[in-house]
Chains A and B, each alone.
Chain A
Amino acid sequence: MGKRSYIAAGLLGALAIVSGASAASADAPGVTSKEILIGGTIPLTGPASAYASVAKGAAAYFKYVNAHGGVNKRKIKYVYRNDEYDPVKTFDRTRELVQQDRVFAIFNTLGTETNLAIRGYLNQVKVPQLFVASGASTWGRDYKKYPWTIGYQPSYVAEATIYGRYIAKTAPKSRIGVLYQDDDYGKDLLVGLERGLGKKKGLIVSKQGYAVTDDNVRSQIARLKAKRANTLMIFATPKFAIQSYSSARQLGWRPKVYVNAVSSAANIMTIATLSSSKRQTEGSISVVFLKDPTDPRWKRDKAVALFRSILKKYNGGKGLRDVYNVYGMSSAFTMVDALKHAGKNPTRESVMKAATHLNERNNPFVLPGIAVRTTPTNRFPLAQAKLERYHNGRWVSFGPLVSVR
């Protein structure tokens, strides 16, 4: 049986090749003398695709920085992949970024559940998970267990605390109905609202959750109306926030609306107004920490002018009215800052150290007076915001800068 022995020989040879194959070397992944490679995921399609500009704005800003010499003579290459807001895909794409593309760090991945999906893995393989684009407080709070993770924006708990306090103070007789996304993000906002209301917690007459995979929130809005709520908290992502306004309008219900910052971008509000009515969105309240490019106050602002010129040059002039682009640029500005302070030859450890020692008073994209600041035990880079009111089709901020965490 000569053929059999051929097969056996082939198999043995095959085994030899297999055992000979070894892993590649592993020094400073993603960093060469000319380039620093970072990556992240973002929903480019799907229910949360409005957030795509969070990555696009950041990418445009990195291109601008690269055109002006880069960071310590290295160009920043930022790869972002579409995860459709599905945590399973986020994990898959992130693993690809780490193992295949060998990125230096994961940056600006958007979403609470999506980031929760990859946090355990990234901390296991010691890859920095930088400036998570989600306001869940766990990013800043649980650093002892997850030292390679840090958040960015003001926490959802903090944001809703501001709303709660404001309602308790200015409208103590409200009947509050809450629409929330039934996940860690929505629940964080609920916690904050109750914290802010304090003793007035009883003002909440109904809480209605929805799943991000749901088609619409019509039945939830109807139930809130049925509970005779006169104040509506929209703790929802843009698609569902817009639906909340239009469903309320269809039901002939016009409550006082508080809409969370992740859905209060001017362009989202414009769509919400078009799909409901001017009266429906008028008087809505939200918080703001970025310079809204549609706010006439920043018409002559240098940072907003820079924002426009960067988008024109590196993003085909798209998204000039989109505050999520501002968010992306702000986050990218902080990333550049962290890389600058991570030394001539940045390592994953040194960039983590820089990210937890931020003291950034010059970030041009956030509201004047806001500092991006962290310490190893205080990992909430942005912790200040202002209230704003929607009036005549645009946001007008009011009151002082509030600082909470």
Chain B
Amino acid sequence: MKAVARNAVRVLLIGVAIAVMIVLPSYVSDFHSRDLAQAGVFFIAIVGLNIVTGYAGQISLGHGALMAIGGYTTANLVAHHGLRDVWTIPLAGLLTGVIGLLVGLPALRLSGLYLALATFGLSVAMPSILKHFSGVTGGDLGLRLVEEAPDKITGLSGTVTIWGYTLTQNHFLYYLTWSIALVLLVAAWALLRSGTGRAFRAIRDSELAAESFGVNRALYKTLAFGISGFYAGVAGSLLVVSAEIVNPLSFTFLLSITLLVGTVVGGLGSLSGMIVGAFFLEYLPDLSDRVSRAPGVASIVYGAVIILVMIALPGGAGGALKRFSEPLTTRLYTRSQ
């Protein structure tokens, strides 16, 4: 009986959250809904990163590079092959998913810090790789979608009409991003509840134990990277759809670190916490900028806030949420462990 009530509350909360997300753009300026869409991009990326890091236990500092692959796939398909921007999103996701599988290969031999460093190498090298293949990527200058294929950008004129409804471009981007985010969130939730999700967690908790129970370690590790790559690709693609321009500076190694920060702040191994992580990533830089314009202050504030969050909420937002929502007995039980 209690379980039924808990589920009802959960459904209600999710309903309220969705309703809030639907009405949110009407309460902020039109331009601001673009920032909210950007938060959605972060959300998708860190839900994906959480699958591989939070659930499968493989630290990745290469997700900025994976986003770059998604972003450039979209940019190239629009600018050089004349595809409409929104249709490139699934393609970008799939291609990046395949690349993600490949990135997962080193994870078979490396783990922990060593894997983090290997994936970090990918992030550091990515801008140079992009510059090298300038025929595809436009090199240093990148690709300007507005110049190359203005008719393929949805809403360049300022509005988008779907099924008779006319939205501003910014609102369109917002609903597009968060609809995709919702679908991918549900998919991640379903995946992580399935046998695959249990296999991920088993590997995270102990690779040796998992293998002795018959979990195919190699398969699930690469699979986690592949799925996570799909999410990163979709996020990178959406980033470019919204920016309408891309260059190697859009995806520096800092992005990879930022994503990991967002995941940890949101809570490793918690999907609902990712929403906090996403808004944290989107708004903290802006808020720290507001503290003072003096050079360096913003970075110090940014760093200090991250440290404070980690001290106050070691499990991230998701961990805190869990602690308050679980019954006291469970809390005591976990405490005593």
Contact = CB atoms under 8 A, between A and B. Distances in A.
Interface of A: 3-4, 6-7, 10-11, 13-15, 17-21, 23-24, 45, 86-88, 91-92, 95-96, 99-100, 113, 116-117, 119-121, 124-125, 182-184, 211-213
Interface in B241-291: 243-250
Contacts of A21: 25-26
Given A3-B11, A11-B19, A88-B243, A99 B150 contact: no
B11 A17 contact: no
A125 B158 CA distance: 8
B23 interface: yes
A213 B16 CA distance: 46
B147 interface: yes
Given A7-B19, A119-B147, 10 more contacts: A3-B8, A7-B12, A17-B26, A120-B146, A120-B147, A124-B157, A182-B140, A211-B131, A212-B140, A213-B127
14 contacts: A6-B15, A7-B12, A11-B15, A11-B19, A14-B19, A14-B22, A17-B26, A18-B26, A45-B295, A99-B170, A124-B156, A124-B157, A183-B140, A212-B140
Nearest to B32: A100
Contacts of A45: 295
A132 B326 CA distance: 60
Contact of B249 (A13, A18, A213): A213
Contacts, number: 96
Contacts of B248: 213
A120 B150 contact: yes
Contacts of B16: 7, 10
A261 B157 CA distance: 37
B142 A87 contact: yes
B244 A91 contact: yes
A213 B323 CA distance: 47
A391 B158 CA distance: 54
Contacts of B31: 95-96, 99-100
A88 B165 contact: no
Interface in B1-51: 8, 11-12, 15-16, 18-19, 22-23, 25-26, 29-32, 34
B141 interface: yes
A27 to B, nearest CB: 16
Contacts of B196: none
A183 B244 CA distance: 19
Given A7-B15, A14-B23, A86-B249, A23 B168 contact: yes
Contacts of A91: 243-245
Contact of B140 (A23, A120, A211): A211
Choose among B11, B12, B31 the residue with the greatest number of A CB atoms under 10 Å from its CB.
B31
A10 B147 contact: no
Return the 9 tightest CB-CB contacts between A and B, nearest first: A7-B15, A120-B146, A100-B31, A21-B26, A14-B22, A99-B31, A211-B140, A14-B19, A10-B19
Nearest to B26: A21
A44 to B, nearest CB: 10
Interface of A (DSSP majority class)? helix
B150 A124 contact: yes
Interface of B: 8, 11-12, 15-16, 18-19, 22-23, 25-26, 29-32, 34, 127, 131, 140-142, 144, 146-147, 150, 156-158, 165, 168, 170, 243-250, 295
Given A11-B22, A14-B23, A96-B31, A121 B11 contact: no
Nearest to A183: B141
B123 to A, nearest CB: 16
Contacts of A18: 22-23, 25-26
B316 to A, nearest CB: 27
Given A18-B25, A99-B31, A182-B140, A121 B247 contact: no
A184 B147 CA distance: 14
- Residue among B18, B34, B140, B156 with most chain A CB within 10 A: B140
A88 B11 contact: no
A121 B140 contact: no
A87 B16 CA distance: 39
Contacts of A14: 19, 22-23
A86 B247 contact: yes
A220 to B, nearest CB: 15
A13 B23 CA distance: 9
B64 to A, nearest CB: 14
Contacts of A20: 26
A88 B142 contact: yes
B15 A10 contact: yes
Nearest to A100: B31
Contacts of A124: 146, 150, 156-157
B262 to A, nearest CB: 20
B203 to A, nearest CB: 36
A385 to B, nearest CB: 28
The listed residue with most A CB atoms (<10 A of its CB), out of B8, B127, B146, is B146
A220 B331 CA distance: 64
Contact of B146 (A3, A121, A213): A121
A120 B29 CA distance: 24
Contacts of B250: 88
Contacts of A24: 30
B165 to A, nearest CB: 7
Nearest to A45: B295
Contacts of A95: 31, 34
A32 to B, nearest CB: 18
A192 B243 CA distance: 33
B144 A117 contact: yes
A41 to B, nearest CB: 14
Given A15-B22, A18-B22, A212-B140, A88 B146 contact: no
B29 to A, nearest CB: 6
Nearest to A89: B249
A184 B15 CA distance: 52
Contacts of A113: 141
Contact of A92 (B32, B141, B243): B243
A324 B165 CA distance: 49
Given A10-B19, A18-B23, A116 B144 contact: yes
A18 B245 CA distance: 29
Contacts of B18: 11
A95 B242 CA distance: 11
A310 to B, nearest CB: 23
A24 B243 CA distance: 23
A33 B111 CA distance: 65
Contact of A23 (B19, B30, B147): B30
B4 to A, nearest CB: 11
